[in-house]
Amino acid sequence: MTDTITTSPQAVGNVLQTSGPRPARPNALSTSLSFGWRSLLKIKHVPEQLFDVTAFPIMFTLMFTYLFGGALAGSTSAYVQFLIPGILVQTVVMITMYTGLTLNKDIQKGVFDRFRSLPIWRPSPLVGALFGDIVRYTIASVIVLTLGLIIGFRPAGGIVGIVASVVLLLVFAFSLSWVWTMFAMLMRTEQAVMGVSMFILFPLTFASNIFVDPSTMPGWLRAFVDANPISHLVTALRDLAEGSFEFGQLTVVLVWCAGFIVVFGPLTMRLYNRKT
């Protein structure tokens, strides 16, 4: 014999009331940090993702220092002082494109459809992914600077100049990443996102003052290099590393950062709302 237990709606209501007040809706910062932590957990489960921020910086630094340092600066020790801030910029700027690759993969899997249904601040998944990538940028910066110190880099600005350089670089990288989030919404595959990103990043990084002094370049190329935001960023980092402060260069870099966010942030959100 089976007993049937019935529960009245009033009893259910009493149970719900005694379970405590309804939790407050999470704010924008907390949800963004949660998605940032999600990005870091991906690295924990797939540590191979850090290959681009560990092996590549070491390879580029050693290769350019010892292959081209003597020819370009007369000695490797002299070239290291010029190269390390530039390599630092190239390393971090190049890995910003992986933000777009990761987001595109989540979109193709339908994960962002689930995120949109949650009662959270709408941009949280995007901002959180960018927050998580800041950790990757920081790891790459530490590796480049540590290797630079080992092979002879001695910044006159000391620890203060180095920290200021890294902070400025992280701000620029965070701002630039909004460009790749937009492409993540536009492109149908992560391979397409990578192709477009590399097509843009290679001219920006190599046609700059990262490796050589622009004064040796032809006029038409030097005009591009002088207008290149990467060149302004590298110059600002070199000044900070040497303990000097050029307000003009810093202003130009911050204007570029603001421009990336103001232009590509709303475009990304518009595409995100339409796509998901």
**Is 2 a residue whose pLDDT tops 50?**
no
**Is 1 a residue whose pLDDT tops 50?**
no
Cα four-point dihedral sign 147, 149, 151, 157? positive
- 158-178 pLDDT, tens digit per residue, is 999 999 999 999 999 999 999
The answer to whether 61 and 147 have CB atoms below 8 angstroms apart is: yes
- Tokens coding 216: 């040796």
CA dihedral 67, 95, 213, 162 (to 10 degrees): -100
- Torsions phi, psi for 16 (to 5 deg): -65, -40
Q: What is the mean pLDDT of residues 229-233?
A: 95
Q: Give the global pTM.
A: 0.83
**Mean pLDDT of all residues belonging to the chain:** 83
The answer to whether 65 and 79 have CB atoms below 8 angstroms apart is: yes
Would you place residue 190 in the very low, low, confident or very high pLDDT band (cuts 50, 70, 90)?
confident
What's the confidence (pLDDT) of residue 23? 63
- Tokens coding 10: 């009033």
- CB atoms < 10 A from the CB of 159, how many? 8
Measuring CA to CA, how many Å separate 143 from each of 109, 150, 205, 275? Answer: 33, 11, 19, 37
**Is 125 a residue whose pLDDT tops 70?**
yes
What's the confidence (pLDDT) of residue 107? 78
What's the confidence (pLDDT) of residue 115? 77
- 73-111 pLDDT, tens digit per residue, is 778 888 899 999 999 999 999 888 888 887 888 777 777
Q: Say which DSSP state 23 is in.
A: P
Measuring CA to CA, how many Å separate 244 from each of 161, 210, 230, 248? Answer: 8, 19, 19, 12
- 248-267 pLDDT, tens digit per residue, is 899 999 999 999 999 998 99
Cα four-point dihedral sign 270, 271, 272, 276? positive
The answer to whether 28 and 124 have CB atoms below 8 angstroms apart is: yes
- Mean pLDDT is lowest, of 7-11, 128-132, 213-217, for 7-11
- 6-44 pLDDT, tens digit per residue, is 545 454 445 444 455 666 667 777 787 787 788 777 777
**What's the distance, Cα to Cα, between the start and end of the chain in Å?**
52
pLDDT above 70 coverage of the chain, percent: 88
CA atoms within 13 A on the CB side of 87: 27
